[in-house]
Structure 1
Amino acid sequence: MHLFSGAWFVRLWLMVVVMWFGCGFALGGKPNMVFILTDDQDSVLGGMTPMKKTKALLADLGVTFSNAFVSSPLCCPSRSSILTGMYQHNHHVVNNSRSGNCSSTAWQHEREPHAFPVYLQKAGYSTFFAGKYLNQYGDKKTGGVSHVPLGWNRWYGLVKNSKYYNYTLSVNGIEEKHGDDYGKDYLTDLIANYSLAFLESHKELVRPTPFFMMLSTPASHSPWNAAPQYEHHYDNVSAPRNGSFNHHGNGKHWLIRQAKTPMASTSVKLSDEAFRRRWQTLLSVDDLVERVVKQLTNIGVLNSTYIFFMSDNGYHTGQFSLPIDKRQLYEFDIRVPLIVRGPGLKPRQKLEIPVVNIDLAPTFLDLAGVNTSQTKMDGRSLVPLWKSKKAHWRTDFLVEYQGEGSVVKADPSCPRLGPGVAECFPNCVCEDAINNTYACVRTLEQDLNMQYCEFADNESFVEVYNLGADPHQLNNIVKSVDPKLLEKMNQRLIALQSCKSRSCNTTPQ
């Protein structure tokens, strides 16, 4: 009897299947992926300090990218870059409003069909989303909760911006309202519960497919509602007083100069309170990470699953005398945590190569076996970086932001700062304006650690920082730096602002 006929073949096939699933891989040998995305979590001001479980379960068992950045320091543009792998000038989401293309009809028609979950779904992945998507998601003018973005098999999308209580979810296109009962409604915990249920259902499948889960938490975004058990943690902690805290520095754009230095006591109090409460909300994210890792272990797929942890942008609490917000070009707003654990990754690796949020989508596709050259993504897969220290990589990248001025939130008692001013906080400190529109080249080479920024205003204002000598970006050196270097950086900025796809990753000459 031939070895591969009849009963012999069936037995051999069953042995192969058992061995394959025993390693945790789905049919086809593709890895599973979990992507945990936090909101407004910095890396410069200690944003990872509360995440002790995350450090032990992810960072200590995988790779930490110590130079991870976002290409735009605001929620909706950054999340759009994560979903599409594109810079802002290519996905055209410029702020958090529908008029700024945030979850607009144009976004739904032009960008969602090319977002990474669509490619993963076509590659055989079962896709799951829970939490905050884009700030204007669920607006009745763009389809409401019935609109489920393309590419997602299971959908638990938060309507509008981050909340912890009293919110609405779209559950696979059906409205689900939540109140203020911690046991039933606290969103960070609910995201964890939904994800564990999805993993449990995956365990019951006869022929498991690979899965991709995106867990998008509200923490550490305002209104900073901590879980009851964490409400008094860090009561004695204050925002860091080092670096640029409560200090203007030299040669800053008008938006920084208009902030009062030293800050009023009420602004200092606001900064400290925000700092503490943000940490408190992150403790529930730390619990979420632990619960997901345990469930992956319980269903036998941890060893075949990549887990990514990242934030959509950084945050500041008193730096340059700006009480609380993001949106600025400085390290505290654009530098974010990025950790990856998974098959083949060595424990406690630290990679200093500059990576950007536009790199996540092509990384997911690369792991799924999708040919990223067929997409229009501007980013690059991170996979070669953890496979070889000699991998060719970029030495610079683009940071771009379009200031907002359509909604004035200044205190009525504040003197008028001028047209287009928005997002103002107590003590008349403005955090954004139309002419806060800027574009920067951030360079990280062995002998050049620099940021060059141009503002789109009538002053043609430029800021340049040597972060090797001035890590807190206190001194704008535009008037003392070599004019030839300025010209070179200007030309590089022009090239990056018009780049598309592969041209976004050329090495500057």
Structure 2
Amino acid sequence: MAGRRTAARGGLTALLLPLLLTCCVRCARSKPSNIILILTDDQDVDLGGMTPMKKTKALIGGAGATFVNAFTVAPLCCPSRSSVLSGRYPHNHAVRNNSLSGNCSSPLWQKGPEAVAFPVHLSKQKYQTFFAGKYLNQYGKKDGGDVGHVPLGWDQWHALVGNSQYYNYTLSVNGKEEKHGDSYEKDYLTDLITNRSLSFLDNRSPQHPFFLMLCPPAPHSPWTAAPQYQKEFGHVTAPRDGSFNKPGKDKHWLLRQPVNPMPNSSLSFLDDAYRKRWQTLLSVDDMVETLVKKLESVKELDNTYIFYTSDNGYHTGQFSLPIDKRQLYEFDIRVPLMVRGPGIKPNQTLQAPVLNIDLAPTMLDISGVNLSSVNMDGQSFLSQMAPSLRNGTARPFFLVEYTGEGHPTTDPACPKLGPGLSQCFPDCVCEDAYNNTYACVRTLDGQSNLQYCEFADSESFVEMYNLASDPHQLENIVKKVDPTVLQTMNQRLIKLQSCEGDSCRDVK
């Protein structure tokens, strides 16, 4: 009997063995999806900033989802990038502006939010991680740990020291200083990022998923295009519609000080900047095409999510401000966002608002991290792109906040404006000031499309716009709107300014 039982068991094993082997092979092949995040620098979406990106729009947007209501929670590089990395609003990660004293890549940031940023969680999920390009504006400076500081979570680290450059820059390569010159073939930063990402993909382990974060300098100043693109768009000028060259008569004092109409010198300056920004983006467009082809060749494209976005928007002549960001208006807070990947149907245009604090939880959602275990203010938007994968809801309200920067002494080029200003451009137009400090609640829920902003200044200035009837924010309606609506927006703003984690997603 025992012998027959053993024989029967052996026969059953023989029958099941092929099935078990097949299952094991599937298990061995099945790994979490790869993720690539391409984060550009100062790329607007409202004013045509995506127009040059034909390959990107086809290969990411056309192959996946385009979010037409994507926003940054802070329209400036360092606080915005800190929000991308941490999944938190600025009042929770405490990076206020681009200065070290404003916590940009400061020891406080490094010991706090950076130590629990989303790449740390991806690394714990066995992702192979790679970073190249601009990180934070003060990264690599002596008071911020120098080039030897490599943030937790990164296997390969090729980070730009300081702010955007295309040539003559320094990298921290895995904590070692690497200086670059002005040779296009060796040094042009956008192409270097592309080439090093390809090397990483060649040398990775196929057993584990990968995450690449690629941060080209384009289209940030000094707007140095690759040699082959420096004559492109020769007849292009900045758009002359919407709020272009309009006076900021009912706005915060900083918007009331530009000369209107703008002099020809300012118009020439901003048109030149507009063209050069487009020229620099052509190399980013090449980057996207090269990466997609590489993923195809290594048979990883179908298992890779590719996110394309920017840290903030940009303006060129709106409300007579020549060039910059830092303002509360749509042209500065809206950003491009396109995503392709497993389960995402092609050619989707999605309306629900998405924030840059949502990128981190979305990528962690893809990787399999339990989102209740991480302290983030954002929420995953995976369900919006691929409804079969998760359940989720869109937010009805969100916060935009900014802390202004200024110089304690008067700018020699603008003595009439006094101290406390910065970012002064041609014809004595200053784009920032200490009291350009504001917080806004934005409502975009299908029923209302409103923005309510309060300034921390001696006037306690308030701006409110109905973007359904006034998409270019030409009229501040704060003195016309029903006081109960103002009260409601004020209460939402108060709650959002002190929110953390779940409470940032549950504001009524």
C-alpha separation in 2, matches of 1:151 and 1:99: 25
C-alpha separation in 2, matches of 1:334 and 1:131: 22
What amino acid does structure 2 have at the position aligned with 1:176? E
TM-score by length of 2: 0.95
C-alpha separation in 1, matches of 2:107 and 2:189: 27
Structure 1 moving runs of 4+ over 3 Å: 1-9, 11-21, 387-391, 406-410
1:88-136 deviation per Cα after TM superposition (whole angstroms, max 9, x unaligned)? 0000000101100000011111111110000010111111100000000
Are residues 1:359 and 2:358 paired? yes
Q: CA deviation at 1:7?
A: 12
Are residues 1:426 and 2:426 paired? yes
C-alpha spacing 1:68/1:3, structure 2 compared with 1 (3 Å): farther
Q: CA deviation at 1:400?
A: 0.2
Q: Is contact 2:353-2:395 (8 Å) kept?
A: yes
C-alpha spacing 1:122/1:47, structure 2 compared with 1 (3 Å): same
What amino acid does structure 2 have at the position aligned with 1:247? K
- Relative to structure 2, which stretch is displaced further, 435-444 or 367-376? 367-376
Q: Is contact 2:441-2:493 (8 Å) kept?
A: yes
C-alpha separation in 1, matches of 2:357 and 2:393: 17
C-alpha separation in 2, matches of 1:3 and 1:74: 68
What amino acid does structure 1 have at the position aligned with 2:168? N
Q: After superposition, where does 1:98-177 map in structure 2 within 5 Å?
A: 98-177=100-179
C-alpha separation in 2, matches of 1:340 and 1:502: 25
C-alpha spacing 1:278/1:291, structure 2 compared with 1 (3 Å): same
SS in 1 for 2:308: strand
Q: CA deviation at 1:271?
A: 0.7
Equivalence for 1:460: 460
Stretches of structure 1 that go unaligned for 5 or more consecutive residues are: none
Are residues 1:49 and 2:48 paired? no
Equivalence for 1:209: 208
Equivalence for 2:4: none
Stretches of structure 2 that go unaligned for 5 or more consecutive residues are: 1-6
C-alpha separation in 1, matches of 2:280 and 2:260: 29
Q: Is contact 2:246-2:261 (8 Å) kept?
A: yes
C-alpha separation in 2, matches of 1:81 and 1:363: 13
1:459-480 deviation per Cα after TM superposition (whole angstroms, max 9, x unaligned)? 1110000001110000000010
SS in 2 for 1:436: coil
C-alpha separation in 2, matches of 1:13 and 1:295: 33
C-alpha separation in 1, matches of 2:247 and 2:11: 79
Choose which of 175, 192, 195 in structure 2 pairs with 1:193.
Answer: 195
C-alpha spacing 1:5/1:216, structure 2 compared with 1 (3 Å): farther
C-alpha spacing 1:160/1:407, structure 2 compared with 1 (3 Å): farther
C-alpha separation in 2, matches of 1:408 and 1:426: 19
Equivalence for 2:308: 309
Equivalence for 2:3: none
Q: After superposition, where does 1:328-347 map in structure 2 within 5 Å?
A: 328-347=327-346
What amino acid does structure 1 have at the position aligned with 2:493? L
Q: CA deviation at 1:447?
A: 2.0
Equivalence for 2:445: 445
Are residues 1:319 and 2:321 paired? no
C-alpha spacing 1:398/1:286, structure 2 compared with 1 (3 Å): same
Equivalence for 1:381: 380
C-alpha spacing 1:14/1:147, structure 2 compared with 1 (3 Å): farther
C-alpha separation in 2, matches of 1:462 and 1:3: 80
C-alpha separation in 1, matches of 2:210 and 2:11: 35
C-alpha separation in 2, matches of 1:215 and 1:241: 33
Q: CA deviation at 1:250?
A: 4.0
SS in 1 for 2:416: coil
Equivalence for 2:271: 272
Q: Is contact 1:496-1:504 (8 Å) kept?
A: yes
Q: CA deviation at 1:14?
A: 6.2
Equivalence for 1:87: 89
1:222-249 deviation per Cα after TM superposition (whole angstroms, max 9, x unaligned)? 0000000000100100000001111124
SS in 2 for 1:53: helix
Q: CA deviation at 1:20?
A: 6.4
C-alpha spacing 1:409/1:95, structure 2 compared with 1 (3 Å): farther
Q: CA deviation at 1:19?
A: 5.5
C-alpha separation in 2, matches of 1:115 and 1:162: 22
Q: Is contact 1:127-1:151 (8 Å) kept?
A: yes
Q: Is contact 1:402-1:437 (8 Å) kept?
A: yes
What amino acid does structure 1 have at the position aligned with 2:416? R
C-alpha separation in 2, matches of 1:337 and 1:321: 24
Equivalence for 2:395: 394
- Structure whose alpha-carbon radius of gyration is higher: 2
Percentage of identical aligned residues: 62
Q: After superposition, where does 1:61-76 map in structure 2 within 5 Å?
A: 61-76=63-78
